[in-house]
Structure 1
Amino acid sequence: MSALATPSIEREAELRETPHPDRPWQTVVWDDPVNLMSYVTHVFREYFGLPHAEAERLMLAVHNEGHAVVSVGAREQMELHAQAMHDYGLWATVRQEPQ
């Protein structure tokens, strides 16, 4: 009978990313197969108050690159933005800005 391998607690802790308080957070909108590009542009204009050209640039990043950072700031505010995107039917997440 072979023993089951158990992961090292220290190794698992190393793999988790720990938040750095000095780095801002981002709201990221991800591409999905459901929403029309015109609708995503509309949401960015309506919710964030962006000019048409900026909203379209972000929508094209979502469409072509698979995601776009639509807002940067404090974690709590980014979570509110992500929830608002969900309310509009868009897929959004919050992450800490990469180093």
Structure 2
Amino acid sequence: MGTQERLDTQAGVGTRASEPWVTIVWNDPVNLMSYVTRVFQEYFHLPRHEAEARMREVHENGRSILSAGSREQMEVHVQAMHSYGLWATLERSGK
């Protein structure tokens, strides 16, 4: 996450108040939890404990919001998640 993003640990969501788009990673039956954790660490530069918490959120709740920002930024993140073999989408925040 960038320095302008903040983590709302109660909601489990990284948000930027002024940015209207989010990247969502969805649960899938294919990828191992350890792999998903590693992807979150490598790509989003999350510390291990935060990457594990996000992975658990994906596993238990079916999805997790990993980043927020402009539509263009979120499209880049979604494509990156696809390149790792993860299922990801973007949508307007607040949905």
2: CA distance, partners of 1:25 / 1:82:
12
With over 3 angstroms needed to count, the CA separation of the structure-2 counterparts of 1:23 and 1:49, relative to structure 1, is closer
2:89 is matched with 93
Max Rg structure: 1
Q: 1:43 aligns with which of 16, 32, 39?
A: 39
Count of aligned positions? 78
Unaligned residue ranges in structure 2 (runs of 5+): 1-17
- Between structures 1 and 2, the one with greater helix share: 1
Q: 2:57 aligns with which of 32, 53, 61?
A: 61
2: CA distance, partners of 1:74 / 1:59:
23
1: CA distance, partners of 2:19 / 2:38:
30
Q: Within the alignment, does 1:74 sit opposite 2:70 as a pair?
A: yes
User: Percent identity between the aligned chains?
Assistant: 60
The letter for the 2-side match of 1:33 is P
TM-score, normalised relative to structure 1 = 0.76
* SS of aligned partner of 2:59: helix
Contact 2:19 2:68 in 1 (8 A): no
- Root-mean-square deviation (CA, aligned residues, Å) is 1.2
The letter for the 1-side match of 2:92 is Q
- Between structures 1 and 2, the one with greater strand share: 2
Give, in angstroms, the shift of residue 24 of structure 1: 1.3
Unaligned residue ranges in structure 1 (runs of 5+): 1-21
Runs (4+) off by over 2 Å: none
1: CA distance, partners of 2:19 / 2:72:
14
